A and B are shown apart, each in its own frame.
Chain A
Amino acid sequence: MMNLPGIAAQFTELVLAVLLAPLLTGWVNQCRAWLQNKSAPGLLQPYRNLNKLFQKEVVLARSASPLFRIAPYLIFGSLALAAAIVPTLDTDLPLNAAADAIALVGLLALARFFIALAGMDVGTAFGSLGARREMMVGFLAEPALLMVLFTASLISGSTSLSTIVETLAHKEFVIYPSMAFAGVAFTMVSLAENARIPVDNPATHLELTMIHEAMVLEYSGRHLAMIEWAASLKLFVYSCMGLAVFFPFGVAQGGDWFGIVLALPVMLVKLALGGAALALIETLNAKMRIFRAPEFLGTAFVFAVLAMLVHVLLET
């Protein structure tokens, strides 16, 4: 089980995810600026922001508890682990036996749980408002995401992410109608979970409709840097998850060195296209009222359940 290319792929994946996540955020911002006819701050701006924040001192509210200070690292750690278990380069990853698709959803929920608690910790009006809204988005989005992954699991007969990707990528080409429904649901969930338009707007502050930004308002310095980095990682994880489940082509199978080296540029191209698509969605849509968000996510949930039903009815 412990094969050398697999371990190398695993390690590369983790390091690449952590290092490239801010670049993906920068790329999405760049694309959005192009589409909206603005001049962009440059691809590397997220890294410059992080560096600046790391150098600044932390201004901590007096009412902040130790939980508030631990949470950023905890959130970063769980999202980094999530990035490591999604197969993007190779399907034969050693960590895959430790956590499957349900555990991946659990990890994302763990990160959300702690960011919401941290939001409530200082005891400000905005913090608890953000936490409440984040959890509202979460409890609707999480089951939808789980149903999307279940559809893929039913097709491949396994909840192991490796087996899912292997089945979808390397078996003969079949069009699964259920995956179309699942794809729509997944797109909607990813938009909501990553605090994107139309559910949230990553670019605003001081607006009564914000969710994610309201929750992290009290953070500063290195803590804020960890939170921002974790947010980029989350976008990266969701993108990789989408690519792994819906466009799994090009992922190396069962640990050969050549396949892994080949998989790397394929993954980068896929991510670049995915980021551009995200910028397009964000440009074409308007932010909706927060009261409409449950409707939006409820639709996603229904789509995901439909995907499972379609699979059970038509494809077995």
Chain B
Amino acid sequence: MYLPHISSLNATLALACAWLAIGLCGLLAPGNIRLASRVLFPAGALVGLALALVALSAIFDQPQARVLPLGLPDLPFHARLDSLSAVFLLILGAVSAAVSVFASGYFRKGEGTPPGLQGLYYHIFLASMAIVLIADDAYFFMVGWESMALSSYFLVTSDHRLAEIRRAGYLYLLLAHLGAIAILLCFGALQGGSGDYSFAGMREIAPSSGWATVAFLLALVGFGAKAGLLPLHAWLPEAHPAAPSPVSALMSAVMLKTAVYGMLRVTFDLIGFPLWWWGVVALAAGLISALFGAIYAAVQTDMKRLLAYSSIENLGLIVAGFGLTILFRGFGMNTLAALALTATLYHCLNHAFFKSLLFLATGSVLHATRERSLGRLGGLIHSMPFVAWTALVGTVAIAGLPPLNGFVSEWLLLQAFLFSPGLPHSYLNMLVPIAAASIALTAALSGYVMVKFYGVVFLGQPREAKLVDAHDAGAWERVGLLLLAAACIVLGLVPALVIGMLDPTTRALTGHGVASLAQGWLFLAPIEPQRASYSPLLFFVLTAVLVGLAWFSVRTFYHGRVRRTGPWDCGFPRLDSRMQDTAEGFGQPVRQIFEPFFRVEQSAPTPYDAQPRYREVVEDRLWSWLYLPVARAVDRVTSLITVLQRGRIAVYLMYSFATLLVLLFLVR
């Protein structure tokens, strides 16, 4: 795959530096759109591709580590590349390659930040994610983590003239830093008083179970804030729609996965011996987030917000899989832990590809129509067929339907649940059916959400006149979309090969793999074929044959005559595009069934209004229950502190003097 005398760790570091260099080139001519779109982003895509290839070969290598000649004097940076890092680097490389190709055709002149600066932030963002994934000490990790948060903040606020976008960016920055503090404290708990902040040192130390628990919970909160776990999810539905579409794609597909990487790294590698009840905590947090995300996605009216809520749902499922892994691992059931971990990692891969595909598709739609609101779209399958058909692949995949990739990870996760009765704890055995039921409900709800998304955006009649001449995506955008759609299909059809690729990681983290149990490349049989097996390729071929046969026989035995006319609609003659379901209408059953979850404000017109207006605001209850009270409390505390603020230098000098006195007294 790569030149044999360069180790894959060095290659990864070199590629990260290449990204930084490409970003800095953007500063040469910040306003030059041709430089950015014809040189910087394509070059970034090539680096991404190279990174994916390096990561693919590194998955099967031994872990490599080195100390970098960088950092503070006595505190050099450590880097390490093992199979867990390699899996996530593969996601980063592959997704960023496709997204960068798309971005080459996406960024335009005069939209917010100048393209060169955009390129700078974008490539720093990519490089810092690579650093997060290979960092081997707390210091280097936090440097990467913070640069990731800052560069993505600038990307989110690239349209900073709008107040709502600045507000979204502020919220994002705030929650990112809350998370970062928790992660920092988690590393503090892990070093166990030794003062050694390298990960190698943390692996050596076996913390007491109390400190390990503290570290785990801090990691769950810190990384959970990045992953959008409840109740720290509030930034996600604000920041994703605010960012340009390629950036939302990267944030959702890769950045959220770095949080999953962090959870796996801390729990299975740095702590090493998870306690079973941590699994229950993670499982509950994951399932609640998943269900919440699905329910809220169903009532959204902005297409990017809808996808953002769907990211909360998918990350919830991933964290639920992570919790199940801990549960099995805590009871020493390592084969099942390996199965649950495989499902978790598989879903990370899947979500990275289908979600970036859908975000890019919304980007194309946004460019062609300048509309993000579902209520003003519709019928785009006629004017933008390419985007519509590639988006259909992503839609079917994310809805968890066979034979595409979303179904594979759902299948693996449900299998893991089905094997869990047998846990040596009767209460847990009771929880498992409930957990499985909520996963099934979430999956079914995501089908509902995706029918709404696709049906309202691409099908039906155009809701606005201008949509009729919306242009289809350009060549660069098409290539990006096509690559991601192909990835979704490949991940769906040959899962046994993908599982073989995930195997070194599950072996490293749980001591077991599931690939050796799979029956060849055609069948997916994670435990044994009598218990469960699934062959998507066979499945796909059979469906295709049956569909083809049905079509062929109808055409042979009957005829293919078609007459085009107006729609029937029960004979109603004056049908117009406003009589279709709106996004609000389509979400209405979910809003009604799950009413207690929402805070709804409605005002309906009376029958006699000359200009009837129907107004409805659906809000997250957590805003009024959690965020606003906290914000108010902070306001109150700070207003108390302002008492100290006098604005006269003499007073401040007196404070310093008093502090000095107190310190002298204490230190004496």
Query: Which A residues contact B (CB, under 8 angstroms)?
Result: 54-55, 57-63, 65, 67, 73-74, 76-78, 80-81, 84, 95, 97-100, 102-103, 106-107, 109-110, 112-113, 116-117, 120-129, 131-133, 135-136, 138-140, 142-143, 146-147, 150, 153-154, 157-160, 163, 205-206, 217-218, 220-222, 225-226, 291, 294, 298, 301, 304-305, 308-309, 312-313, 316
Docked CA distance A139–B572 (Å): 30
Number of inter-chain CB pairs below 8 Å = 272
User: Which of A60, A129, A132, A226 has the most chain B CB within a 10 Å cutoff?
Assistant: A132
In the assembled complex, how far is the CB of residue B340 from the closest CB belonging to chain A, in whole angstroms?
Answer: 16
Inter-chain contacts of B1 with A (CB < 8 A) = none
Q: Is the CB of B546 within 8 A of A135?
A: no
Interface mask (B411-422 → A, CB under 8 Å = 1, otherwise 0): 100110010010
Q: A98-B535, A123-B577, A222-B554 are in contact. Are A132 and B461 (CB under 8 A)?
A: no
Q: Is the CB of A154 within 8 A of B461?
A: no
Docked CA distance A76–B382 (Å): 25
Q: At the interface with chain A, which of B9-17, B585-593, B634-642?
A: B585-593
Inter-chain contacts of B523 with A (CB < 8 A) = 97-98
Q: Is the CB of B579 within 8 A of A124?
A: yes
Docked CA distance A312–B419 (Å): 12
User: Which of B415, B429, B533, B567 has the most chain A CB within a 10 Å cutoff?
Assistant: B567
Q: Is the CB of B546 within 8 A of A77?
A: yes
Q: Is the CB of B455 within 8 A of A128?
A: yes
In the assembled complex, how far is the CB of residue B176 from the closest CB belonging to chain A, in whole angstroms?
Answer: 33
Inter-chain contacts of A150 with B (CB < 8 A) = 414, 418, 433, 436
Q: Is the CB of A106 within 8 A of B402?
A: yes
In the assembled complex, how far is the CB of residue B661 from the closest CB belonging to chain A, in whole angstroms?
Answer: 66
Q: Is the CB of B532 within 8 A of A100?
A: yes
In the assembled complex, how far is the CB of residue B459 from the closest CB belonging to chain A, in whole angstroms?
Answer: 5
Q: Is the CB of A142 within 8 A of B593?
A: no
Q: Is the CB of B550 within 8 A of A76?
A: yes
Instruction: Write the chain B residue with the least CB distance to A120.
Output: B455
Inter-chain contacts of A117 with B (CB < 8 A) = 451, 454-455, 459
Q: Is the CB of A129 within 8 A of B436?
A: no
Q: Which one of B440, B456, B534, B592 lies within 8 Å of A147 (CB-CB)? A: B440
Asked if B530 lies at the interface with its beta carbon under 8 angstroms from chain A, I say: yes
Inter-chain contacts of B407 with A (CB < 8 A) = 103, 106
Q: Which one of A58, A218, A305 lies within 8 Å of B433 (CB-CB)? A: A305
Inter-chain contacts of A67 with B (CB < 8 A) = 381, 392, 459
Q: Which one of B378, B529, B534, B549 lies within 8 Å of A103 (CB-CB)? A: B534
Q: Is the CB of A77 within 8 A of B437?
A: no
14 contacts between A and B (CB under 8 A): A61-B564, A77-B549, A107-B402, A121-B460, A122-B461, A123-B379, A124-B579, A125-B580, A127-B569, A143-B443, A150-B414, A217-B570, A305-B434, A313-B430
Asked if B5 lies at the interface with its beta carbon under 8 angstroms from chain A, I say: no
Docked CA distance A81–B543 (Å): 7
Docked CA distance A153–B436 (Å): 13
Docked CA distance A313–B427 (Å): 10
Q: Which one of B437, B461, B589 lies within 8 Å of A301 (CB-CB)? A: B437
Instruction: Write the chain A residue with the least CB distance to B455.
Output: A120
Inter-chain contacts of B381 with A (CB < 8 A) = 65, 67, 121
Q: Is the CB of B567 within 8 A of A226?
A: no
In the assembled complex, how far is the CB of residue B381 from the closest CB belonging to chain A, in whole angstroms?
Answer: 5
Q: Which one of A58, A102, A107 lies within 8 Å of B563 (CB-CB)? A: A58
Q: A73-B547, A136-B448 are in contact. Are A103 and B562 (CB under 8 A)?
A: no
Q: Is the CB of B531 within 8 A of A125?
A: no
Q: In chain B between 593 and 612, which residues have their CB closer than 8 angstroms to a CB of chain A?
A: 593
Instruction: Write the chain A residue with the least CB distance to B419.
Output: A157
Q: Is the CB of A62 within 8 A of B447?
A: no
Asked if B178 lies at the interface with its beta carbon under 8 angstroms from chain A, I say: no
In the assembled complex, how far is the CB of residue B408 from the closest CB belonging to chain A, in whole angstroms?
Answer: 10
Q: Is the CB of A102 within 8 A of B445?
A: no
Q: Is the CB of A54 within 8 A of B554?
A: yes
Q: Is the CB of B589 within 8 A of A294?
A: yes
Asked if B164 lies at the interface with its beta carbon under 8 angstroms from chain A, I say: no
Q: Is the CB of B558 within 8 A of A143?
A: no
In the assembled complex, how far is the CB of residue A160 from the closest CB belonging to chain B, in whole angstroms?
Answer: 6
Docked CA distance A127–B531 (Å): 41
Instruction: Write the chain B residue with the least CB distance to A206.
Output: B570
Interface mask (B529-562 → A, CB under 8 Å = 1, otherwise 0): 1111111001100111011011100100111011
Asked if B204 lies at the interface with its beta carbon under 8 angstroms from chain A, I say: no
Q: Is the CB of A59 within 8 A of B437?
A: no
Q: Is the CB of A138 within 8 A of B563?
A: no
Docked CA distance A129–B585 (Å): 9
Inter-chain contacts of B450 with A (CB < 8 A) = 113
Q: At the interface with chain A, which of B214-222, B302-310, B393-401?
A: B393-401
Q: Is the CB of A60 within 8 A of B564?
A: yes
Q: Is the CB of B378 within 8 A of A80?
A: no
Q: Which one of A107, A112, A153, A291 lies within 8 Å of B418 (CB-CB)? A: A153
Q: Which one of A132, A138, A226 lies within 8 Å of B554 (CB-CB)? A: A226
Asked if B566 lies at the interface with its beta carbon under 8 angstroms from chain A, I say: yes
Inter-chain contacts of A98 with B (CB < 8 A) = 523, 533-535, 538-539, 542
Q: Is the CB of B448 within 8 A of A139?
A: yes
Inter-chain contacts of B554 with A (CB < 8 A) = 54, 73, 222, 225-226
In the assembled complex, how far is the CB of residue A158 from the closest CB belonging to chain B, in whole angstroms?
Answer: 5
Docked CA distance A98–B455 (Å): 30
Q: A158-B530, A217-B570, A218-B567 are in contact. Are A125 and B451 (CB under 8 A)?
A: no
Q: Which one of A80, A113, A121 lies within 8 Å of B550 (CB-CB)? A: A80
Inter-chain contacts of B565 with A (CB < 8 A) = 59-62
- The list of the 8 closest CB pairs from A to B, nearest first, reads A123-B460, A77-B547, A123-B461, A128-B581, A143-B440, A120-B455, A308-B433, A77-B546
In the assembled complex, how far is the CB of residue B140 from the closest CB belonging to chain A, in whole angstroms?
Answer: 42
In the assembled complex, how far is the CB of residue A137 from the closest CB belonging to chain B, in whole angstroms?
Answer: 9
Inter-chain contacts of A116 with B (CB < 8 A) = 451, 455
Inter-chain contacts of A140 with B (CB < 8 A) = 444
Inter-chain contacts of A220 with B (CB < 8 A) = 568
Inter-chain contacts of A308 with B (CB < 8 A) = 433, 436-437
Instruction: Write the chain B residue with the least CB distance to A74.
Output: B547
Instruction: Write the chain B residue with the least CB distance to A99.
Output: B539
